[in-house]
């Protein structure tokens, strides 16, 4: 800032003080002088003093406002910077968490499009179903696994990652195969035959739910002569039923049939 600007800023900033001093000096020198000249000079001094005082007050207001604006801009810039840093950190953490969950679902046999579009509740249901299935099968003997057979109907294989799900089902039963005609029905169901039981059917149902299927019924089947059989497929009769949650399946004490 040049010397002239500094002087001008000082004069404007201290206008009130200066006018008070000048008025005092002027009143001393004018004394009892009379005449038109002195009256005009006095009036001119009052007008100039008023203008100077107003200019000084306006200048002070502008200076204060500019300082406030600069302070606000600094604070706003700081907040925006911190907000962007926070959002970036949240986005990174969120993306990492979503990627971890997606990989978990894919490992369960969930199709990529279902894993990526799943709601929070459905994601929790699928993960919980896998946990509950593991808990139910933890004490199964190898002899029991060897005796069991699981049939998966063809339409089911289109709703899951078939290779992954069949591999998971083979941990439950020695014999797992895609079997029977394709049924066009969204009412997926689980049946168990003579020689098997509800707990084994529940474990298979939970494994299917963890892979993205919605199971609507778990029934005992009397239509197949094969013993120790559990089937996973569609049922037209079960379409009016609501999908069973993992907790509902886990706590079943009897069959759920239309």
Structural domain includes residue 147: yes
Arithmetic mean of pLDDT, 82-107: 71
Do 46 and 122 fall within a single domain? no
Arithmetic mean of pLDDT, 73-87: 60
Residue 173: its pLDDT value, please?
95
Do 67 and 117 fall within a single domain? no
Do 140 and 215 fall within a single domain? yes
- Classified as helix, coil or strand, 177 is strand
Structural domain includes residue 258: no
**Which residue in 57, 45, 61 sits closest to 16, CA to CA?**
57
Q: What is the pLDDT of residues 29-68, one digit of tens each?
A: 555 556 565 555 555 665 666 566 656 656 555 665 666 6
Last residue of some domain: 63, 81, 99?
81
Do 69 and 149 fall within a single domain? no
Do 170 and 218 fall within a single domain? yes
Edge to edge, the sheet with strand 188-192 lists 175-178, 149-152, 229-234, 188-192, 215-220
Structural domain includes residue 90: no
Do 143 and 235 fall within a single domain? yes
Residue 234: its pLDDT value, please?
86
In the chain, which residue ranges form alpha helices assigned H by DSSP?
A: 3-13, 15-30, 36-108, 112-117, 120-137, 142-147, 154-157, 162-169, 198-210, 246-250
Residue 137: its pLDDT value, please?
93
The two beta strands, 175-178 and 215-220, are: unpaired
Domain that holds residue 25: 3-81
Do 67 and 128 fall within a single domain? no
Arithmetic mean of pLDDT, 215-235: 91
Count up the domains in the chain and report the number.
2
Residue the block writes with tokens 């239509």: 223
Do 241 and 136 fall within a single domain? yes
Taking the C-alpha atoms of residue 74 and residue 134, their distance in angstroms, rounded to an integer, is 57
Last residue of some domain: 39, 64, 81?
81
Q: What is the pLDDT of residues 5-33, one digit of tens each?
A: 555 565 555 555 555 555 555 555 555 55
Confidence of residue 248 (pLDDT cuts 50, 70, 90): very high
Do 156 and 30 fall within a single domain? no
Whole-Å CA distances, 40 to 47, 48, 191: 10, 12, 114
pTM of the entire predicted model: 0.64
Structural domain includes residue 256: no
Residue 170: its pLDDT value, please?
94
Structural domain includes residue 184: yes
Last residue of some domain: 29, 62, 81?
81
Structural domain includes residue 99: no
Structural domain includes residue 22: yes
Q: Which class for 97: exposed (0-12), middle (13-18), buried (19 or more C-beta within 10 A)?
A: exposed
Query: Count of CB atoms within 10 A of residue 72's CB?
Result: 10
Q: What is the pLDDT of residues 164-208, one digit of tens each?
A: 999 999 999 999 999 877 655 668 999 999 999 999 999 999 999
Instruction: Considering only residues 97 and 247, tell me which one the structure prediction assigns the higher pLDDT.
Output: 247
Structural domain includes residue 29: yes
Structure tokens of 218? 């778990």
Do 126 and 245 fall within a single domain? yes
Do 135 and 246 fall within a single domain? yes
Do 202 and 132 fall within a single domain? yes
Residue 202: its pLDDT value, please?
97
């Amino acid at each position: 800032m040049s010397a002239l600007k500094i002087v001008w800023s000082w004069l404007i900033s201290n206008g009130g003080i200066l006018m008070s001093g000048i008025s005092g000096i002027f009143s001393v020198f004018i004394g009892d002088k009379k005449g038109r000249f002195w009256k005009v000079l006095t009036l001119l001094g009052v007008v100039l003093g008023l203008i100077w005082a107003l200019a000084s007050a306006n200048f002070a207001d502008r200076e204060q406002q500019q300082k406030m604006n600069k302070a606000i801009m600094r604070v706003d810039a700081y907040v925006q910077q911190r907000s962007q840093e926070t959002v970036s950190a949240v986005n990174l953490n969120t993306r990492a968490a979503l990627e971890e969950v997606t990989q978990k679902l894919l490992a369960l046999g969930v199709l990529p499009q279902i894993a990526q579009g799943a709601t929070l509740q459905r994601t929790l249901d699928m993960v919980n179903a896998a946990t509950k299935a593991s808990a139910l099968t933890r004490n199964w003997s190898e002899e029991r696994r060897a005796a069991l057979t699981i049939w998966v109907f063809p339409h089911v294989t289109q709703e899951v990652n078939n290779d992954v799900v069949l591999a998971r089902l083979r941990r439950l039963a020695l014999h797992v195969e895609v079997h029977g005609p394709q049924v066009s029905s969204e009412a997926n169901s689980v049946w168990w035959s003579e020689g098997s039981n509800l707990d084994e059917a529940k474990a298979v149902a939970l494994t299917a739910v963890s892979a993205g299927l919605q199971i609507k019924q778990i029934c005992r089947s009397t239509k197949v002569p094969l013993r120790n059989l559990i089937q996973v497929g569609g049922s037209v009769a079960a379409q009016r039923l609501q999908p069973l949650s993992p907790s509902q399946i886990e706590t079943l004490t009897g069959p759920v049939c239309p």
